[in-house]
Amino acid sequence: MTLDKLRPVADRALAPFVRAADRVGLTPDGISIVAFGFAALAAGAYTLGGAAVAGVGPRQELYLLGAVFVFVNGWLDLLDGALARLQGTDSMAGDLLDHVLDRYADIVIIAGLAAGTTEYLLGFLAVTGVVMTSYLGTQAQAVGLERVYGGLVGRADRLAIIGATTVATAVYPSELYGLTLVGWLLVFLAVVGHLTALQRFYYSMAALD
């Protein structure tokens, strides 16, 4: 989890955007909903980006567009929490909405990647790994521990990797050892997701002993 360690730097970079959002009357919940909208747009772009166009190949520019949407989703995911703290409106209800929409965002983005490549089994393994990672983080809190964010890859890292890989796919759409770069991305998300979930499970069990 490298990017989560940079949260203080991100908070400083966000400060002018947070103040601007507050001035125009935006709310944290509204930003969370808009962030999910960008995740859905990314899923659509990835689905269409992997579709064949007259037998020539994928619509490569759509992978670039999908990457932009993913980065915007991640940016807004940081913005909503910072705005809630500024406005003094952070609440359990807002936290719940944010986490639910984040999970749906993760699911639709990975579903879009899988649909575009027709690698549905890899997509299933990837999305279950991501969901279990998040579940173990919050389940630790449910049994009396602090929410667990540790492990190999957190959400910020995951979005950055998805964005970077789909940009690379726009440049190099050919297969590599039987899979496109997006296919290998799904393999990575599946393996690392489940490993991260197991890391969090082990940490939580050790903390409860």
Residues marked active site are found at 102
What residues does 176 pair with on adjacent strands? 179
Handedness of CA 142, 131, 64, 178 (dihedral sign): positive
* Rounded Cα distance, 185 and 178, in Å: 13
**In angstroms, what CA-CA distances link 106 with 37, 42, 129, 157?**
12, 11, 11, 13
The dihedral formed by the CA atoms of 194, 139, 205 and 81, expressed in degrees to the nearest 10: 80
Residue 184 in tokens: 């290998």
Residue 99 in tokens: 């986490």
* Rounded Cα distance, 1 and 197, in Å: 13
Q: Is 12 exposed, middle or buried (0-12, 13-18, 19+ CB in 10 A)?
A: exposed
- The three-state secondary structure class of 51 is coil
Amino acid in the structure at residue 189? L
Hey, which bits of the chain come out as E strands? none
